[in-house]
Amino acid sequence: MTDLRLIRHFESVFRLGSFSKAAEELGLSQSALTKSIQTLEANWDVTLFHRTTRSIAATDAGKRLYPMGVDLLAHAETVKREAREGERALNIVCGPTILDTLIQPAIEVFRDAFPLTRVSAETMPPAHAVEELIQRRVHLLLYHSTTIDGLPHARRLKTAELFSEPYVVACRPGHAVLETDRSLTSLLKFEWAIAGYDPVFESGLPKDIRDVLLASNFPKYRLLSQPACLEMTKRTDILSTAPQSVIAPLVASGDLDVFPHPANLKFSIGAASLIETWREPVVMGFVDSLRSSCQNRLD
């Protein structure tokens, strides 16, 4: 098999569009890098770059190789890390509500079965997150099921819905909204703070609801923190929405009032991983841990 080192050299030249810049990045002389690319081309009997004295351009073969080469290099790093570390690190990207409320209890369940696995969880825009997944820098995505269903690269992903519960509308006690008919039209007359309301999620909403929200420039405040949204709701006339189980402690303490969401929206957690990694023990282990901890919230 062709040395991965040659693929890495090709990737650098393609990405930077320059032998000199790639040589500097790789810590090689330009002549050594040129020889590497020539060796790769000779081994495969293919031309990867058109060269002139002033510029280079990838051939069609080079353009086809680049995305596959990136995948190959990323996979090689994963294999090296797993061989070195045993039970590897598990990198998760999720929506802000999931990060704020569900990751911590899931880790508590997960660590009993996988005590040697390091877990990293962060939030980022879904479109960015799925690219990180494709590049194998992330192992598992956890977002609202509507967002998961709208992700690109669908043919490369294995997805599943893990958990679902109703959204409720939250307001401070005595809020004027409690005197309305609580229809969607009435609610949109007030300001809203929403955690993680991203374009992918919005595009997956039923068209009639999406059109009403777009017409009202909903939401006025979009934050990447569910607790921050609920804190604003406690202190002001701003409305918010969250899963029923998330708000339950604030209702019990008298800090918030809630009522059913007029659009009957559900907080549905979806998971996505590459098809080839879905059944890896640490990925399946965390999915099972999340299912278990979510069920415990409702019991």
Count CA within 13 A, CB hemisphere, residue 252. 6
Helix (H, G, I), strand (E, B) or coil at 128: helix
Closest CA to 17 of 62, 70, 73: 62
Rounded to whole angstroms, the Cα distance separating 180 from 262 reads 12
Same domain, yes or no: 273 and 129: yes
Identify residue 122 by its one-letter amino acid code: E
The two beta strands, 193-195 and 221-223, are: parallel
Tell me the whole-structure pTM to 2 decimals.
0.67
Residue in the structure block whose two tokens are 């060269």: 51
Helix, strand and coil content of the chain, in percent to the nearest 5, comes to: 50, 20, 30
Rounded to whole angstroms, the Cα distance separating 234 from 171 reads 7
The two beta strands, 90-94 and 140-144, are: parallel
Q: Which two tokens stand for residue 9?
A: 């050299």
The two beta strands, 90-94 and 119-122, are: parallel
Closest CA to 244 of 175, 299, 171, 165: 165
Helix (H, G, I), strand (E, B) or coil at 122: strand
CATH number reported for the structural domain that contains residue 98 in this entry = 3.40.190.10
Report the pLDDT value the prediction gives residue 299, as an integer from 0 to 100: 65
Range of the domain at 31: 4-73
Rounded to whole angstroms, the Cα distance separating 222 from 290 reads 26
Among the three residues 73, 98, 117, which one is the final residue of a domain in this structure? 73
DSSP 220: S
Residues 290/150, Cβ–Cβ less than 8 Å: no
Q: Which two tokens stand for residue 75?
A: 């996979």
Kind and range of the H or E element at 266? strand 266-274
Q: How many domains does the chain have?
A: 3
Same domain, yes or no: 159 and 272: yes
Helix (H, G, I), strand (E, B) or coil at 52: coil
Same domain, yes or no: 142 and 186: no
Same domain, yes or no: 178 and 43: no
Same domain, yes or no: 217 and 235: yes
Evaluated on CA atoms 153, 267, 241, 124, the torsion sign reads: negative
Residues 131/103, Cβ–Cβ less than 8 Å: no
Same domain, yes or no: 178 and 158: no
Q: Please report whether residue 35 resides in a domain.
A: yes
Q: Please report whether residue 84 resides in a domain.
A: no
Same domain, yes or no: 175 and 234: yes
Give, for all 299 residues of the chain, the pLDDT tens digit: 458 899 999 999 999 999 999 999 999 999 999 999 999 999 999 999 998 877 899 999 999 999 888 878 877 776 776 666 555 789 999 988 899 889 999 999 999 999 989 999 999 989 899 999 988 889 999 998 988 988 988 889 999 999 899 999 999 999 999 999 999 999 999 999 998 787 777 887 889 899 999 999 999 999 988 999 999 999 999 999 999 888 999 999 999 999 999 988 888 999 999 998 898 889 999 999 999 988 877 66
Q: Please report whether residue 83 resides in a domain.
A: no
Rounded to whole angstroms, the Cα distance separating 132 from 140 reads 10
